[in-house]
Amino acid sequence: MDFNFELILTLLFLLCGLSWLLNKSIRGGEDTLIGFLASMAPVLGIVLVLRSFVIEPFQIPSKSMVPTLKVGDYILVNKWIYGVRLPVLRTKIIDVSDPERGDVMVFFPPHQDRYFIKRVVGMPGDKINLIKGQLFVNGEKMSQTAYLQEPAAPRSVVMTENLTGVDHLIQRRQSPTRLSLNFSTVVPAGHYFMMGDNRDNSSDSRVWGPVPADRIVGKAFARWMFWDSFASLPSFDRAGSIQ
């Protein structure tokens, strides 16, 4: 998710918009470069509005959200549910709603400008504890039960976790790594604590801290295609909502 397509799309739209103005002023034809760029302005404008304010597609590049999301999953992200933001600048101009615990969220982590996707585990003010792979939120143990239908990686187990009313799948090591062995923090105001569902194989808020609200991108709500390599055909077997 390193490619900043939004910035490139915005610059192209500005270039084509300027060409449209010049074309109107000099009354050039579509067979000129300015005319061609001007003709692209409406199309780029529609694409920019849809991607910036409505829905944006992403491809999952890592195993940090296994088993919920796998490498090669193509997902859709709701860009307006957490507030309407200006493209590139990310300034919120309209409030809509706040993230909720259990949401799968796309965001920029506090340490770099690169898209990440994790699950909202901690809300502002929450106390988060992990002890030997078991998650506690504000002192309440989040129940975990075995999920036998989904195969796990070697030395790992897939479980259903109830995150204060939100059921979702996680994968954890039978012998927890240092990420899940003994961790404790309190989420600051205006921040969210993010964790991957692949609990022992995820760089998340346990490593680089909670995510400020102004670095939120949107909520992942659906998988629409799976395509992990050009050597295989796309599959729609995993299409559906993201829990």
Per-residue pLDDT tens over the stretch 63-83: 999 999 999 999 999 999 999
Q: Which of 19, 52, 79, 118 is catalytic?
A: 118
| pLDDT of the residue at 149 | 60
Per-residue pLDDT tens over the stretch 78-121: 999 999 998 888 889 999 999 999 999 999 999 998 999 999 99
Per-residue pLDDT tens over the stretch 217-236: 999 999 999 998 888 899 99
Per-residue pLDDT tens over the stretch 36-46: 888 888 888 88
First to last CA, the chain: 21
- Catalytic residue at 64? yes
Residue 151 has pLDDT above 80, yes or no: no
Q: Which of 19, 64, 180, 205 is catalytic?
A: 64
Kindly indicate the confidence band of residue 31, based on its pLDDT and cuts at 50, 70 and 90: low
If DSSP states are collapsed to H, E and C, what string results for the chain? CCCCHHHHHHHHHHHHHHHHHHHHHHCCCCCCHHHHHHHHHHHHHHHHHHHHHHEEEEECCCCCCCCCCCCCEEEEEECCCCCEECCCCCCEEECCCCCCCCCEEEECCCCCCCCEEEEEEECCCCEEEEECCEEEECCEECCEEECCCCCCCCCEEEEEEEECCEEEEEEEECCCCHHHHEEEEECCCCEEEEECCECCCCCCHHHHCCEEHHHEEEEEEEEEEECCCCCCCCECCCCEECC
Per-residue pLDDT tens over the stretch 130-142: 999 999 999 999 9
| pLDDT of the residue at 32 | 78
Kindly indicate the confidence band of residue 154, based on its pLDDT and cuts at 50, 70 and 90: confident
76 to each of 33, 71, 81, 99, 173, how far by Cα in Å?
34, 15, 13, 17, 29
Average pLDDT on 198-221 reads 96
Residue 19 has pLDDT above 90, yes or no: no
Residue 3 has pLDDT above 60, yes or no: no
Average pLDDT on 159-188 reads 94
Q: How far apart, in whole angstroms, are the C-alpha atoms of residue 202 and residue 206? A: 9
Residue 207 has pLDDT above 60, yes or no: yes
| pLDDT of the residue at 232 | 86
Average pLDDT on 20-43 reads 78
